[in-house]
Every structure is written in structure tokens, then in C-alpha cells.
Structure 1
């Protein structure tokens, strides 16, 4: 019996609450999208290894500022140095072979000189035979034989000349290949010296002296010094409301109850699977010198604001956008047109007016 009485009291209480009415008010309203995030250096990137090998030396410390081409890591490059020296020796040999006084070309030049001498002798013999044939001192077959020898000597000279030209071309190609191999070997050796691609700050060193790293493995995190941006994660339901240049109110986890102002500077077009959110960037209105890279934060993006709007409590609006009006002793349900939706209040653009009694039932 006591249990029934308690239920009856609860029902009466709920029924009374459902009959509570409110009237629309005119007041300012602000709509904000909540977005967690973190601080990140401007143009932040991860420096990676270009080869496999042990770290033999780390030449900087976290927090250091480095210049372009300044060495940060050294890797063991023993094998690369051996290959580079072999390529340099091979280049020297190929360069000597391709020179004008190389043994290969000198031998061909000697053959050409001998062939030209034979050609001159054949030419003189042919001219003599031609004179003798005119006086009928020799037979036609002897003249033909002299012409054949002369033509053969011409062909021999031309063949050797062509061989010299081909040999020079082959030697030139070999020299180009050797030079290319030497440059490649030198570049590979340089890859074991990990350098900064520009003027940056070292935010994090991910490897230490003695570590074995693989090609493509992360070594350090770099970015511009004293220039931090706000990286925000925005859910699918809210991303359509976020626009460039909207105001962002930021609270850092390292400074609770203190708010910094910023604005949206970039919205990424793709959905990020890792965080199941869309990415956006914001920048502080004033540079935060004491802020630390990687600091977690919470932000509110101001996506809508009016200084004067007709408002109703959010608790009086149904999920499908309807309200219940109390008119004399009757109830009337109607759909309203809404504008800015805040955490507790909703802007009404149409459907109700000031003075209407709205039952709080939701």
C-alpha cells in the first residue's frame, strides 16, 4: 500500500512538471561547437631515416634551434663509404680509358696509320698500272687486281675510322655511367648524415645514440620556433557549421579556467579515420610564448551569435522541432522554425511569438 502511494505521488509530481509553462523571451544567444584538440608547431613534421643503420651520434638537444643543412644525427656509414671509394676508383680508371692517350685508342690510331699507308701504296700501284695498261704493257686482269686492292684499302681505313668513333662513344658512355655511379654513391653516403631541411626548432628526439633504425623510421619532430597552431577534432554532426575566421575560445589543460581567443584558419576536407573526426586549424589572436607544443586543450567554436533573438528553453522543444502551446484549457502542438541552438536556449524564427505559453515537457 505504501509502495502504491509513493508511485501516485511521483506521478502527480511528473504531471505537475509537465504542466509547467514558459513564455518566449528576447535576449542574446550564442551557439558554440565543442572541439577537443592540442597545440602543434607551425609546419611541424617528422624527420625520418634515409637508410638502415646505427645512430653513432646525436648532435642536438630537444629545444635547440637548427639552421638549414645543420647535421642532427649521424648513422654508421661504413659500407656506404666503401662503395663510394670503389665508385671513385672506377671513375678514375674509366676517365683514363676515355682520354685521347688511352691504350685502346692509341692502338686503333696505330692501326689507322698503317691502313692509310697501305692505301697510299695501293693508290700509287693503281696509278702505275693504269699508265702501263694504256701502253698495253700489262693485261686487264692486272689492272683490275690493283683496283681491287686499292678499294679494299679504302674500306679498311673507313672501317678503322668508324671503329675509333664507336670506341670513343662507348668510352664516353662508360665515363658518364661511372660518374653517375660515383655521384650516387656519394649521395648515399650523405644520406647517413641526417640534416635539417630548414631553420626549425627541435621539439622531440625520438632516437638516441646506439639505436638501430630502419629506412623511413621517425627520428625527430621539428617545426617553426615560437609559432604554435591549434589543431581541433570536430565531429561529423558539427563540421558543416564550422567556417573560416570563426572565433575560437581555447582553454589549455595546463591553464584551467583561463581562456584564450583565436580564429579558424584552415578546415581539412577529408575525414580522419584514426580520430573519427574532421580536422581544423586555428591560430591565437596573440602569440603565446609560454605555450608548450603538444598541450591538450578544449575549445568552443562560435558558429552563431545574435544580440537580440526570440528564445525558448531547449527543454520545451521536442527532438523533431515541435512545441506544445497552452491556450486557455486546450493544448496545441505545432512545429517551429529554429535558428541558433545553444545548450539551454533555442532561437525561434517562426511558429511562436512573445506572450505564448509553452509547456515544458521535454
Structure 2
């Protein structure tokens, strides 16, 4: 009796072990999405760099501080730009005095021109008087030619002085403008030693300590929005053509387990990262979590299509992406939407077709 029962149990187990898994396609709602890795970052996040090299003299803020645009962040020391600015100021004053001052070079030329004008006037009178006498055959030819030569020399001298005056004035004007530009540049360079915030935001990180050498190649701080965060997503290049601005995104963050946040695609960056073969996509929270920090990681699913009533089949029953196994053999199907779990069946089978699970 016991032997018969044992044989029956073994037979049942054997038959159950050989029973093939089967399903029927089901009609249900379905959504297709694109997967993306997620990193949360403050909006307008940027790294502050020094415009000049020097020694970091003072840090005027702390990590976590809220700052307004133009708020001083760091003070750098370097005596060379201050000396350059002082020299530029002295050169500007000299150029201005030469052009406009009482001891200006132009004043001396103006005096020479006035003297030349008086000489020309006198020589002109003598010349035309002598010319009139010569026409009346009065006086000698030598006297006439001497008066004429003196007159012509006076005309040429006055012309040369006026040309010299214009040329000198243009040169001094150019020198004054150059001195003004040099002084502005030197003053701007001294102002560059005080680094200020470019936005209204929050100090998220400081990378230097007082006394350290500062270069133009190393960031000093990381600054971004205090209350607006963006979602940076990396999307595989095979999926990027499916995305568009305004698409809905479902976000899960490691810091908020079992919570799903809704967002919307805000920006698609056109440049591909050659190393990771991904594109960067930016989204904005519809209702963000209460507390967010830069660098929070998670996953995102960008919804690209949604249907309410479609014929679906578990993805594990699909063979070579377009075939299924039935009791009558293999059948080619046409699929539509698909996600990680199931696919939409457009043609080839219906809800009454029994599908066998592929053999492993």
C-alpha cells in the first residue's frame, strides 16, 4: 500500500515537472518608457574661478551661506596689479596735462603760430608795398626779391607750424585715450582680486583655504540655486530620438525609497558624450521633495507613449523579438509598445491564442 502511494506521488511530481508554462495574451493599459540614470543638481550650478593668480588672502563666506549676485566671496592678494594701476594713473595724468594742461605742448605750438602769423603779416605788408613800388620802377630788384622771399618763407613757416600743431594734437589725443584705456584695464585687474557671486544662490562647496596659491585653472567654489533643482538624466543614444520636451518623467531617488516623483522634460542637450555614449537630458520636478541636496542619485523613466486598451504579452514569452511558440508551432507577431515587462501585440495572435514559454 505504501509502495503504491509512493509511486503515485512520484508520478504526480514528474508530470508537474514536465508541465509547460502557458499564458494567454491579455488586454490592458500599457505605457512605454525610456530608462535614464538620474542625478539631482541645483539650477544654475557653476564653479567660481579667479580671473587672476595670487594668494588667497580671505574667504568671505561659508559653505551653506545664501548670497546675492555681486556678493564678495574671496579676496586675493598680489601687489603687481596695484603697482601697475598706480603707474597707469600717473601716465594718464601726464597725458592729460600734455593735452589740456597749462604746460601743454600744444600751448607752446600755439605761441609759435601766433608769432609766425605776426611775422607773416609784417612780411606781407613789406612785400606788397615793395611790389607796388617795383611796378612803378621804384627801388631795386634785389629789395623786391628779398621782400618776396621773406613773405614766401613766412607763409611756408606758418603752414608748417599749423600742420605740426594738428599732428601733435592728434598724437597727444591718442596718447591720452591710450592712457585712459590702460588705467581702466589696470583698475579692472585690481578689481579682479575680489571674486564675487554671479547669481543669487547658495554656496555648496569651497575648495581652497586662506594662504593657498590661487590660479585661473582651479575652481574656488561651487554656487547654485538655493531652492530650484534640476534633474540631470543620462539617456542611451539608441533612445534619444524618442524623446521630446514636455514628456512626463517618473523619478525614484535612493534617498526617498518607495516614493515616486513626477517631473517633465525641460531640455535635451544635442551633444553626445563619446565616452559613455549617452545624451544629457534635463527635467524639472512638478512637486519636488521637501529636502534636496546636490548629487542625489536615482532612476528615471521617461514616458514616451501610453495606450489604455491593448493586447499584451509578457516579454519573457517573446522569441527573437518577433516570434512566439504556440501548440501549433512558431508564429511571427508584430509588436508595438514595449517596456521591461511586456510588449504590445499588434498582429499574429489574439486573446484566445495559448502561448507556450520558450524552452531554455
**Length-normalised TM-score, structure 1:** 0.89
- Partner Cα distance (2:83, 2:101) in 1: 30
Q: Go from structure 1 to structure 2 and tell me whether the alpha carbon gap of 1:300 and 1:219 turns closer, same or farther (over 3 Å shift).
A: same
Post-superposition CA distance 1:169-214 (Å, at most 9, x none): 1111100000000000001111111111232221222222222121
Corresponding residue pairs, total: 346
Contact 1:226 1:289 in 2 (8 A): no
Range with greater deviation from structure 2 (190-199 or 101-110) = 101-110
What are the ranges of 5 or more consecutive residues in structure 2 without an aligned counterpart? 1-13
- Partner Cα distance (2:275, 2:227) in 1: 28
> RMSD between aligned alpha carbons?
2.2
Name the counterpart of 1:341. Answer: 338
What are the ranges of 5 or more consecutive residues in structure 1 without an aligned counterpart? 1-11
Name the counterpart of 1:251. Answer: 252
Contact 1:48 1:218 in 2 (8 A): yes
- Partner Cα distance (1:20, 1:71) in 2: 70
Name the counterpart of 2:117. Answer: 116
- Partner Cα distance (2:45, 2:150) in 1: 80
Name the counterpart of 1:233. Answer: 234
- Partner Cα distance (1:147, 1:338) in 2: 111
1:1-362 paired onto structure 2 within 5 Å: 16=18, 19-99=20-100, 101-327=102-328, 331=329, 333-361=330-358
- Partner Cα distance (1:128, 1:239) in 2: 98
Post-superposition CA distance 1:44-92 (Å, at most 9, x none): 1221111111111111111212112111111113111110001001101
Q: In structure 1, the residue corresponding to 2:352 is in which secondary structure?
A: coil
- Partner Cα distance (1:137, 1:243) in 2: 105
Contact 2:261 2:288 in 1 (8 A): no
- Partner Cα distance (2:167, 2:184) in 1: 26
Q: In structure 1, the residue corresponding to 2:211 is in which secondary structure?
A: coil
Q: In structure 2, the residue corresponding to 1:256 is in which secondary structure?
A: strand
Deviation at 1:359, TM superposition (A): 2.1
Contact 2:200 2:225 in 1 (8 A): yes
